[in-house]
Amino acid sequence: MLEAGRIAGNASGRNHGFVLPGFAESMERVVSRVGMEHAKALWDLSEMGLRYVRTTIAEARMPGVAPIAGWLKVSKVDNGDEVLADVQLYGQELGAEVEGWPTERVREVLKTDHYFHALHLPRAFHIHPLNYALGLAERGGSGRRAHLRAHNQRSRSMPKACASASPRRPPACVPAISSSPATSISPR
């Protein structure tokens, strides 16, 4: 492994820790660019990525990674029709496990009137990204195991990244959540 600074010292260890299917581009745009068949294949590939992360964490018994289930993409405007269209695209066309949440359900969970409808991906999850990246490095046998272990001990006590944005959106940390404490959220 070649690293100028600390292993996982940059984006890989400092991101929001959202493990989501999909891409930086919206799936609607992906479909319009490559067609439904290829978009579906790309979506499946991204879901495979999710499974890889989940399985790797479990198999390596990575300490301090603590996957937390669920991701909520909330709307800041009252656009139920758009959310419904997204739910249909993700669920029926792409085969994703997805739920459309009406405003009332969102507001039962998030104690604010700021958000409206939401798209919920129950199989997406949230991890401690630094501990995951260090776990991967240690698993890869970088020859710096002792250093990594010491680093890992320190990082485990770090607070988790604020539950916030997807890789494609700027962070907007919103304090979560009452009845569904496991779900991370991201505004549209």
Ligand X SMILES: Cc1cc2nc3c(=O)[nH]c(=O)nc-3n(C[C@H](O)[C@H](O)[C@H](O)COP(=O)(O)OP(=O)(O)OC[C@H]3O[C@@H](n4cnc5c(N)ncnc54)[C@H](O)[C@@H]3O)c2cc1C
Residue-wise DSSP of 24-61: SS-HHHHHHHHHHHHHHHHHHHHHHHHHHHHHHHHHHT
Please say which residue, 3 or 44, places its beta carbon nearer to ligand X. Answer: 3
Q: Which stretch binds ligand X (CB under 6 A): 2-10, 30-38, 59-67, 82-90?
A: 2-10
Q: Give the up-direction half-sphere exposure of residue 65: CA atoms within 13 A in the CB hemisphere.
A: 23
16 lines the binding site for ligand X (CB under 6 A): yes
167 lines the binding site for ligand X (CB under 6 A): yes
The Cα 188–Cα 173 span in angstroms is 13
The token pair at 136 is 């991967």
Please say which residue, 107 or 169, places its beta carbon nearer to ligand X. Answer: 169
Number of residues that bind ligand X (CB under 6 A): 13
What is the smallest separation between the CB atom of 6 and ligand X, expressed in angstroms? 7
Which 3 state secondary structure label does DSSP give 185?
strand
The Cα 139–Cα 145 span in angstroms is 9
146 lines the binding site for ligand X (CB under 6 A): no
18 lines the binding site for ligand X (CB under 6 A): yes
Applying CB under 6 A, the residues found at the interface with ligand X are 2-5, 9-12, 15-18, 167
